[in-house]
Amino acid sequence: METDPVLGDDFFGRGEILQALDKRLDSFLKGYRQNVGIIGPKSSGRSSLVQYFLSTLNDPSLIAVYAEVIPEPFDYFAQKFMGSLLAAFLNNRQEDTAGEFSGLVSKSRHLIPKTLRKMRAVKKKLAAEDWDPAFRELLTLTQVLGQESGKKVLLVLDNFDRLDDLLLKNPFHAFGNAMMSQTETLYVVTSGRERRAREIFQRDLSLLFGNFEILEIKPFDFLTAQAFFDKKLDGLTAGAPLMKFLWDLTEGQPYFLSVLASRCRTLQPAGNAVLTEETLLASLEKEIFDRRGELHRYFAMVLQSLGQGRSLFTALKVLMAVSMGYRKNLQIARFLNRRVDDIQKTLSRLLEEEFLEKKGSFFKLMSPLFGFWLRYVYYRREFAFAGPHEHTVAAFRQEVRDLIKQRAVEDAKEITKKVEELFRQFQNDVVELEAKKIRCPLFNEVHFKPSNGRVFPVEAKAADTRWLCQVAYRKVTEDDVRLFIQDIEKLRKKVQRKIMITLEGIELNAKLLAKESKIMLWPLKEFNELLTLYGRPKVIA
């Protein structure tokens, strides 16, 4: 399970998801069932969130079961699943659940004999290594327990996408059949592999897709992250420059922010209420650079999941290449001194495991902090001459100082200037934004152009195409769109790509007018995605 700091009295920023779970459970107890899928990136706290939710339940008519799927032999999983079922039943009766599986069976023997008989049937198939029939039988246990106890069952299956790691044939087909037939069980499934989970819902569980409410756990936006970090600092506060750097580095993941805040709190000099840059540098050193740091150990464990031997080495080199700014097939292959065809299998595996995400021509690491650790810690130690320890520490701190300064310099720039610099990086690339692929040509001219709008738009020209991009600093209205259209109509030559960057959103009628006029809209999220692909800091509006 994953660690998450946003629980208990410190629960923060996940209220809407808990409310949705409460609503679904209440409806289920009243006779209407809609299963729930919770998806979110690694370290977003899915596991801890459902554990917290389970800890709040005290309805005697409900047996709440938690089971986690990890890569392990199927018979191990089956034994733990049955143990979780018995423990949940006994817990519902407020009986002691401590002890081994045999002890749980002994306590339940005279209470649910039919359920135990079914478990013996499962164990018989396990002994014969008849895995798939055993799995189908295992999935019927919630129904048998519910009928025998006269209670409804809530089953939380954490990391359900890992069922295919149990080496079963069509596990999701069997799981889907169980969900359709067992209407007295409410299923809550979670996954840290967002793409894989959606694929399972749409392909393997398509008949049930409409009966799932999908809840997304997203990283904190800047303001929420700032409030969360300040709360964790407990009496301290982080100034905007350092907080912007941290938000960009952690992408607003609460686990990372919490660990760093805890370390900052212990290292901050007494009497100083504002977090200093030196304290942040020391905290990053202790947590990420130092092998004993929690975040260092966390990322080392992430690497262990890649396996061993040559395949691990190749995967590591690919991840390091991307972390160092080599984001395209050919660039990665050159970094590894290999042919592009030689690394396709490794890239496919890293995409499947969601270490990487593909955005058109580009590969992107799913976690920027993981990329930071790979580039500035792991690579330096494993593949470069590091020198004495004190020199490597000093070099690490200086690199972080430089990144903080770079972030401050970028923040001082006008956004139109950032657009201009971004356009100058295009090299006939293909990028994917919100499932739309866009070709980004190699421009031979990029400049500001006078207009009637709020700011000068950026004009970019190539041999066979012309772009005009307007930045809107406040919510876009119909009048804003009309002004932009007027600017375009005054031009003598045709504009192939018309873009509005909507930093504060856009009114519905303005959006319809923009669509009618074939104006491409880039909300702040999409613009930041584009900046990230080209190795530039995000905009915090």
Q: What is the pLDDT of residues 162-184, one digit of tens each?
A: 999 998 999 999 999 999 889 99
User: Given this model, what pLDDT does residue 465 score?
Assistant: 93
CA distances to 270, 431, 530 from 437, rounded to whole Å, are: 52, 6, 12
pLDDT value at 340 more than 90: yes
Q: Is residue 1 very low, low, confident or very high in pLDDT (cuts 50, 70, 90)?
A: very low
Condensed to tens digits (0 to 9), the pLDDT of residues 470-482 reads: 999 999 999 999 9
Question: Does residue 540 sit within a domain?
Answer: no
Average pLDDT over residues 447-451: 74
Confidence check: pLDDT of 113 > 50: yes
Whether residue 41 is found in the same domain as residue 177:
yes
Q: What is the DSSP string of 246-264?
A: HHHHHTT-HHHHHHHHHHH
> Is residue 2 domain-resident?
no
176 plus 232 within the same structural domain: no
What is the pLDDT, as a whole number, of residue 8? 45
151 shares a domain with 43:
yes
36-45, 80-89, 233-242, 350-359: least confident range: 36-45
Please tell me the distance from the alpha carbon of residue 483 to that of residue 477, in angstroms, as a whole number. 10
Q: What is the pLDDT of residue 7?
A: 45
Residue 399 falls within a domain, yes or no? yes
In a domain, 1, yes or no: no
Q: Verify that 264 and 393 share a domain, yes or no.
A: yes
pLDDT (0 to 100) of residue 452 = 55
State mean pLDDT over 253-276: 92
For residue range 415-436, what is the model confidence (pLDDT) as tens digits?
Answer: 999 999 999 999 999 999 887 8
Inform me whether the pLDDT recorded for 246 exceeds 90.
yes
> Are residue 373 and residue 459 in the same domain, yes or no?
no
- Domain boundary residue, one of 170, 187, 216: 216
> How confident is residue 5, by pLDDT bands cut at 50, 70 and 90?
very low
Q: What number is the average pLDDT over the span 93-114? A: 91
Please check whether residues 448 and 464 belong to one and the same domain. Answer: yes
pLDDT tens digits, 196-241: 999 998 888 876 655 788 999 988 999 999 999 999 998 889 999 9
pLDDT value at residue 9 = 44
pLDDT of residue 6: 46
- Between strands 429-433 and 436-440, the pairing is antiparallel
Same domain for 406 and 455, yes or no, is no
What pLDDT was estimated at residue 451?
60
According to DSSP, the β-strands at 185-191 and 152-158 are: parallel
In a domain, 306, yes or no: yes
Percent of the chain scored above 70 by pLDDT?
95
First to last CA, the chain: 34
Last residue of some domain: 187, 216, 245?
216
Residue 541 lies in a domain: no
* Whether residue 62 is found in the same domain as residue 107: yes
Residue the block writes with tokens 């059949």: 177
Query: Backbone dihedral region of 234: left (phi > 0), alpha (psi from -120 to 50 degrees) or beta?
Result: left
d(CA 248, CA 235): 23
Of residues 504 and 271, which shows the higher confidence score? 504
Domain count, the chain: 3
Q: Is 32 within the bounds of a domain? A: yes
Q: What is the spatial distance between Cα 453 and Cα 455, in angstroms, rounded to a whole number?
A: 5
Average the pLDDT over 330-334 and give the result. Answer: 96
Indicate if 196 and 232 belong to the same structural domain: no
- Both 420 and 286 in a single domain? no
Residue 92 zone, left/alpha/beta (φ > 0; ψ -120 to 50; rest) = alpha
| CATH code for the domain in which residue 89 is found | 3.40.50.300
Minimum mean pLDDT range among 22-36, 126-140, 443-457: 443-457
Residues 226 and 293 in one domain: yes
Mean pLDDT of 529-540: 93
For residue 339, tell me if it sits in a domain: yes
Final residue of a domain: which of 359, 378, 411? 411
**Mean pLDDT (the chain, rounded):** 91
Residues 358 and 427: their CA atoms lie apart, in Å, by 17
In 378-535, beta strands by DSSP E: 429-433, 436-440, 445-448, 458-461, 466-472, 497-502, 519-523
Average pLDDT score over residue span 378-397? 81
**Residues 410, 414, 417: CA angle, nearest 5 degrees:** 85
Question: Nearest-CA neighbor of 42 among 165, 156, 194, 166?
Answer: 194
Same domain assignment for residues 224 and 212: no
Torsion of CA 124, 128, 132, 137, to 10 degrees: -10
- The domain of 242 spans 220-411
